[in-house]
A and B are shown apart, each in its own frame.
Chain A
Amino acid sequence: MSLRTTPFHPRTGPLSEGQAWRRWAGYVVASSYELSHEREYHAIRNSAALFDVSPLYKYLVTGRDARRLLDHVVTRNIGKAKVGQVLYTPWCDAAGKQIDDGTISVLDEQTFRMTAADPTLRWLHLNASGLDVSITDVSEKTAALSLQGPSARAILQIAAERDLSALKYFRLTPAHIRGIPVTISRTGYTGDLGYEIWVDSAQAVALWDALIDSGTPYGITPAGMLALDVARIEAGLLLIEVDYFSSRHALIEMQKSSPLELGLGWTVATDKDRYNGKDALDAERRRGPSWQFTGITVDWDSLEQLYADVGLPPRLPSQAWRTSVPIYDPGGRQVGYATSGGWSPLLKQYMALVHLESSSARPGTQVRMEITVEHRRKQATAHVTPLPFFNPERKRA
């Protein structure tokens, strides 16, 4: 049996010029539609890019105790969440180590949609004993598109035939696009102005066509995961199994991280009584996390010199990388590691997402990143840069 295609495949399949597909949660999605992802990347920052994000795991949690269940599972305060709100949140095990991260959409007082990177049905059920709640896996039934970029709102307003300027960052609204019922949320994984559109899988293709029609005059560009990967690094957004390991998959303690160590302290509520991992996280917050998740920017002159030493012009990664790369302090002691990195075509900066010992993580601190030049390991100087690297006003405006 082969991997599954998403409900948009009748449209995305023929667009693929190089048959470059990537696996995601048991599905295949485009790495890039064109032979290079470059134009798709620029669409995110210049016009609008359209991503198929259907492979996300999606759960519908309903019932009188739905809110209680989610509030207990995740670190953010779901008890206070208002209808129409979307919350980005991690969830942890009892030791306060992160299992996964995703979003919770408050569709009405007793209806919530949760997205996750890993299967989460069992975890929700385990936490639901004694609660009046129904949990449904709607992963296959619900398809999703992400429309990201400065023109996203203009395009969506035409498609939905309504004004969306009142839809604030991390809010959602039910809407109709050419008669198709959808949910539009002002969310995304690019750090730009953007929306995600949730639809019944049976009507996925018609939704795709409607968005392409409305978006063509605005330069809408179907885009794949390679472009998304660059944008999410610029936005400082972490990726499970790349930037951290789920505590449920970790084989040793060292492989686990807490949200406080992952730069997600802001998502760990201080105003709720009980949730998974609370005691451990409260204690960690009091003593301060040993690790920080932050950014570094590689110094150009240093990079250029390493290549000049072997007679080459500086080389830059043409795609974002996802490997573990050692980070040293100026004295040569390893103080952390990078987990994602790449060149920002917009900022003209070589950036990386790093885990650093807290003592080396202050913005501006000079560090060194290992870089292989002509088969030899070298170190380029870099500076700690607070995340996100790119944070345009339009994201929230």
Chain B
Amino acid sequence: MASAKRYDAIIIGGGHNGLVTAAYLARAGKQVLVLERRPRVGGAAVTEEIFPGFKFTMFSYVVSLLRPEIIRDLDLPRHGLHILPLESTVTPMENGDYLAAWADHDETRRELYRHSPRDAEAYDEYGHLMHFMARAVKPILSMVPPDPTSFAPGDLLALLKLGKHFRGLGAERLHALVKLMTMSSADFLDEWFETDVLKATKSASGIIGTFLGPRSPGTAYVLLHHYMGELDGVFRAWGFAKGGTGAVSEAIASAARAFGAEVRCNAGVVKVLVKGGKASGVVLENGDELAAATVVSSLDPRRSFLQLLESNQLPDEFVADIKRFKFRGSSGKVNIALDSLPTFTCMPDGGPGGRLHRGAVSISPSLDYVERAYDDAKYGEFSRRPYMDIVFPSMIDPGMAPPGKHVMSIFVQYAPYNLNGGWTDAKREAFGDAVVNTVEGFAPGFKSKILHRQVITPLDIERITGLTEGNIFAGELALQQLFFLRPAPGWAKFATPVRGYYQAGSGTHPGGGIMGASGRLAAMRILKDGL
């Protein structure tokens, strides 16, 4: 059945990027409709009460680089966004000791000094250098990637600006930047530090969402992301969102609605309609057809192009590029309802003021540990002793659990999508057991406090959110898939080979995390193209 109403734009997918695109287009006065397949908006940024009274940040669990301009433009605080500080990281070690990075600089320095006086000094110098490089790279996040093979004035101008920008760094920092772009995080950190657990914990941020290990080349540049967040300083766009990441999605949706956008849930799209080489609308799962001048997909590139379109509607080489685009989901999530907080052997009193549980706990006791976790995955198994990033959302926002009870969010790597023999219910539980047993090793008695556990494999991520192969970034954040190559050479500017059909998801530049940058840049491009 065809509906009579014709929208200016239909956005496929109500994840945070789709919602950002919708909000910006609506803000510009356009008639916008967002279609979300699930009963709630958010995609991979959802908070759900899986176990009565306990709210789980199902997939993504922290806000890292949500663009400040989006927070301002959409007035997200008025729509409920409240980002709370998540300030420390404690890494329990195998020998019962720990490494802590606290919010306070002097405290962190003293803690590092305990492990290595040399590293305590190097840490500041390293931070200073990374600050400069993060500043150099950060503008790229808010930039439509110029095509280096194009001679169009716009591209040349953008490239020129970029070149000037990097030249301003000076030789030493430019060399460091090249190293960051090519080296493994382990090698890069080796040049700076001698404390193994420090290198392991820092390198872990370089492997999240990739199918690479800390010793794989190309993982070093992600180290920069952390410092990009710090550049915002007091603005603080990173931390834990009150109400979990689902509250971020809800705030954006609320802003979009306030600008006049319509957001419809339980409305999966099966097909994009193309007439005369131009997108004209969509077909819903229930057969309804909706017409629009512009159709925007915020799904991942494989779904946007290979599922919603016929391959004969696209150039062959483009289809080949999209088929080559790597997903390789490598992470899982275990969400736990707790009767009480676990006690970690390394810090039985929870640290000064009980601050251990208010920050992250990183299970990355050594570089070998993390690399071995990767070894398992390389050969098709989940890590028997995985890398984990643990937070206790209820310690930051008490509303996440009933009073006195807690929720625990465990990001787990590695759990390969293509598991040997495939994922089954039994394998999922075995994976959950490996996670819980590993935590138990650092926090004896932990298992007895578990009221409920939810184990999410990459296959589950794919099934629930639709993210291909369960990749949390809608496509691996590997160097060959970034910037003007994301998702395909020549098609990194949010337009697609089909006129009136745009892409806005995390599978476009810059992708990754709850940034919203892809969604915003897509909206800018669409408006510039004269919608």
Are chains A and B native binding partners rather than an unrelated pairing? yes
Residues of A at under 8 Å CB distance from B?
Answer: 15, 17, 34-36, 38-39, 42, 45-47, 151, 154, 216-219, 300, 313-318, 343, 345-349
B124 within 8 A of A: no
Q: How many angstroms from the CA of A347 to the CA of B251 in the assembled complex? A: 13
Given contacts A347-B77, A348-B77, contact A218 B82 (CB under 8 A): no
Per-residue CB proximity of B96-126 to A under 8 Å, as 1/0?
0000000110010000000000000000000
Q: How many angstroms from the CA of A300 to the CA of B233 in the assembled complex? A: 14
Given contacts A42-B85, A218-B398, A316-B234, contact A35 B77 (CB under 8 A): no
Listed from nearest, the 10 A-B pairs whose CB atoms lie closest are A217-B403, A219-B398, A217-B404, A316-B234, A35-B104, A347-B77, A47-B398, A42-B84, A318-B234, A218-B398
Specify which chain B residues have a CB less than 8 angstroms from the CB of A300 in the assembled complex. 68, 72
Given contacts A313-B233, A347-B77, contact A39 B72 (CB under 8 A): no
What's the minimum C-beta distance from B485 to chain A, rounded to whole angstroms? 28
Q: Select which of B68, B353, B358 is within 8 A of A17 by beta carbon.
A: B353
Q: How many angstroms from the CA of A34 to the CA of B103 in the assembled complex? A: 10
What's the minimum C-beta distance from B160 to chain A, rounded to whole angstroms? 18
- Contacting pair A46 B82 (CB below 8 A): yes
Q: How many angstroms from the CA of A216 to the CA of B235 in the assembled complex? A: 29
Specify which chain B residues have a CB less than 8 angstroms from the CB of A346 in the assembled complex. 77, 82
B52 within 8 A of A: no
What's the minimum C-beta distance from A176 to chain B, rounded to whole angstroms? 22
Given contacts A45-B82, A217-B398, contact A34 B353 (CB under 8 A): yes
- Contacting pair B234 A151 (CB below 8 A): no
Judged by DSSP, the binding face of B is helix
B39 within 8 A of A: no
Judged by DSSP, the binding face of A is loop
What's the minimum C-beta distance from A58 to chain B, rounded to whole angstroms? 31
- B40-92 contacts to A, CB under 8 A, are 68, 71-72, 76-78, 82, 84-85, 87
B231 within 8 A of A: yes
B397 within 8 A of A: yes
Q: Select which of A39, A45, A151, A349 is within 8 A of B398 by beta carbon.
A: A151
Q: How many angstroms from the CA of A269 to the CA of B383 in the assembled complex? A: 72
B226 within 8 A of A: no
What's the minimum C-beta distance from B438 to chain A, rounded to whole angstroms? 28
Specify which chain A residues have a CB less than 8 angstroms from the CB of B104 in the assembled complex. 35-36
Q: How many angstroms from the CA of A273 to the CA of B358 in the assembled complex? A: 57
What's the minimum C-beta distance from A104 to chain B, rounded to whole angstroms? 34
Specify which chain A residues have a CB less than 8 angstroms from the CB of B71 in the assembled complex. 348
- Contacting pair B84 A35 (CB below 8 A): no
- Contacting pair B77 A17 (CB below 8 A): no
Specify which chain B residues have a CB less than 8 angstroms from the CB of A349 in the assembled complex. 77
Specify which chain A residues have a CB less than 8 angstroms from the CB of B398 in the assembled complex. 47, 151, 217-219
Interface residue tally for chain B (C-beta within 8 Å):
30
- Contacting pair B231 A313 (CB below 8 A): yes
B303 within 8 A of A: no
Given contacts A46-B84, A46-B397, contact A316 B403 (CB under 8 A): no
Given contacts A17-B352, A46-B397, contact A35 B103 (CB under 8 A): yes
Specify which chain A residues have a CB less than 8 angstroms from the CB of B399 in the assembled complex. 47
- Contacting pair B233 A218 (CB below 8 A): no
B236 within 8 A of A: yes
- Contacting pair B85 A316 (CB below 8 A): no
Q: How many angstroms from the CA of A45 to the CA of B81 in the assembled complex? A: 12
21 A-B residue pairs with CB within 8 Å: A17-B353, A35-B103, A35-B104, A35-B107, A39-B358, A42-B84, A46-B82, A46-B84, A47-B397, A151-B398, A154-B403, A216-B404, A218-B403, A315-B233, A316-B233, A345-B234, A347-B77, A347-B78, A348-B71, A348-B72, A348-B235
Specify which chain A residues have a CB less than 8 angstroms from the CB of B233 in the assembled complex. 313, 315-316
B242 within 8 A of A: yes
Q: How many angstroms from the CA of A317 to the CA of B231 in the assembled complex? A: 14
Q: Select which of B82, B85, B135, B404 is within 8 A of A39 by beta carbon.
A: B85
If A17-B352, A46-B242, A345-B234 are given as contacts, then 5 extra A-B residue pairs at C-beta distance below 8 Å, sorted by A number, are A46-B397, A217-B398, A217-B404, A219-B398, A348-B72
Given contacts A39-B85, A315-B233, contact A348 B68 (CB under 8 A): yes
- B380-399 contacts to A, CB under 8 A, are 395, 397-399
What's the minimum C-beta distance from A179 to chain B, rounded to whole angstroms? 23
What's the minimum C-beta distance from A331 to chain B, rounded to whole angstroms? 27
Q: How many angstroms from the CA of A216 to the CA of B77 in the assembled complex? A: 27
- Contacting pair A316 B404 (CB below 8 A): no
Specify which chain B residues have a CB less than 8 angstroms from the CB of A315 in the assembled complex. 233-234
Specify which chain A residues have a CB less than 8 angstroms from the CB of B76 in the assembled complex. 348
Q: How many angstroms from the CA of A241 to the CA of B406 in the assembled complex? A: 44
- B222-255 contacts to A, CB under 8 A, are 231-236, 242
Specify which chain B residues have a CB less than 8 angstroms from the CB of A17 in the assembled complex. 352-353
What's the minimum C-beta distance from A182 to chain B, rounded to whole angstroms? 22
